[in-house]
Structure 1
Amino acid sequence: MNRYQVTDWCHGFIKEHVEPGDICIDATAGNGNDTAYLCGLLKGTGKVYAFDIQEQAVIRTRERIKDAACETEVILSGHENMARYIKEAGEVSCIVFNFGYLPGGDHAMATKGETSIAAMEAGLALLKAGGIMSLCIYSGGDSGFEEKDAVLAWLRTLDSKRFLVIVSEYYNRPNHPPIPAFVVKLGNS
């Protein structure tokens, strides 16, 4: 992890929590990078569900993982609808979010606080005890600050007896660097 990009940092944490045979979700498929990363961690077993509202992102993700060694399902739908497609409630090991817009895509098609919070709430119900939710929170410039503020405020409300919330930041980087955050569902949830 020598580049210290937010996704690399999050991948390092995710790697410690995902094992072959797990069920994982890429809630914001984008270009398929996280979907492919999760498939690699599953080593030919398990399943990854990937969601995106943009057909371009679904096509890119399917192309990126066409030779993946694990079962995948790429779904053209908003991440807030994940519970409609995933029946393994309480069995999901990892859910990955990258908030903002599709790199190289339409910046007007960015995630929004309301639907992102609904997706995270749905995701918490799907996570198993010990499961992790990884959040890369982008803000500033094109995407504004509303979603970042809403997500961070929501994270603060999670019951500390049921969830461990870790929020970090690139403290000395200019121009509103992304914020990596994690939610771990505790064993007594």
Structure 2
Amino acid sequence: MLENALQYSHTLLKEVVHADDIVIDATMGNGHDTKFLAELVGLNGTVYSFDIQKLALMNTTELLNQNNLTDRVKLIQDSHANIDHYVTETITGAIFNLGYLPGGDKTEITHASSTLTAIESCLELLKSNGRVILVCYYGHPGGKDELAQVQQFTSNLDQHQYQVLEYQFTNQIHHPPILIAIEKR
């Protein structure tokens, strides 16, 4: 069975993220990707997890506490555009879920300007064979514009430095998410 965008994002990260790695969840949301990454990096790895909304930090903190994973995660209430203020180490991977916080305020959305800045920061920190994964939810006001700008940016990355994959279901209604995976050569 073909995996949906979220499932495939985890498959792609599992292939490259290992114990002791440093990774980024650029849009922590309710903490599911943060938890997933924390399990992958093990006791000595680090997950930097970003969100601007206090609700996201509260939900993620609760999920991490329930799973005894708080010791390997740094929760940061700030825009992902400011990744470079917090992360200086080489990273193995990063994940973005673009759109809005499920169960939160649907008017609080990610925007192309901050997202592109964050992607650039992640690519600068990314080690060879590392991956930046973008799961693009675009069925909300502003979502199609952000998706278009992200697609334009990623399609223009130098093919000698990066491989870019776009994964989507083309026969589904209701704007199924599109996954974009960037792998550094």
How high is the TM-score relative to the length of structure 2? 0.94
| Aligned 8 A contact 1:169 1:178 in 2 | yes
**Structure 1 alignment gaps of length 5 or more:** none
Percent of aligned positions with the same letter in both sequences?
A: 35
Match of 1:107 in 2: 106
Match of 1:134 in 2: 133
Distance 1:144 1:19 in 2: 32
Match of 2:85 in 1: 84
Match of 1:121 in 2: 120
Give the counterpart letter for 2:88 in structure 1.
K
Give the counterpart letter for 1:174 in structure 2.
I
Distance 1:43 1:93 in 2: 14
Distance 2:70 2:60 in 1: 14
Residues 40-49 or 94-103, more deviating: 40-49
Alpha carbons of structure 1 residues 62 and 146: separation in structure 2 relative to 1, 3 Å: same
Matched, 1:45 2:44: yes
Distance 2:8 2:133 in 1: 10
Alpha carbons of structure 1 residues 11 and 140: separation in structure 2 relative to 1, 3 Å: same
Match of 2:11 in 1: 12
Distance 2:17 2:118 in 1: 20
Distance 2:117 2:59 in 1: 25
Match of 1:180 in 2: 179
Alpha carbons of structure 1 residues 95 and 144: separation in structure 2 relative to 1, 3 Å: closer
Distance 1:179 1:7 in 2: 9
Structure number having the greater helix percentage? 2
Cα offset for 1:4? 3.2
| Aligned 8 A contact 1:100 1:137 in 2 | yes
| Aligned 8 A contact 2:165 2:180 in 1 | yes
Matched, 1:156 2:155: yes
Distance 2:140 2:174 in 1: 8
Local SS of the residue matching 2:143: coil
CA RMSD of the aligned region, Å?
A: 1.4
Cα offset for 1:107? 0.8
Cα offset for 1:57? 0.4
Alpha carbons of structure 1 residues 162 and 29: separation in structure 2 relative to 1, 3 Å: same
Cα offset for 1:43? 2.6
Local SS of the residue matching 2:95: strand
Paired positions, count: 183
Give the counterpart letter for 1:22 in structure 2.
D
Match of 1:75 in 2: 76
Cα offset for 1:6? 1.8
Q: Residues 55-95 of structure 1: CA distance to partner in whole angstroms, max 9, x if unpaired?
A: 1101111111121175110000000100100121xx10010
Cα offset for 1:5? 3.2
Give the counterpart letter for 1:110 in structure 2.
I
Distance 1:72 1:181 in 2: 24
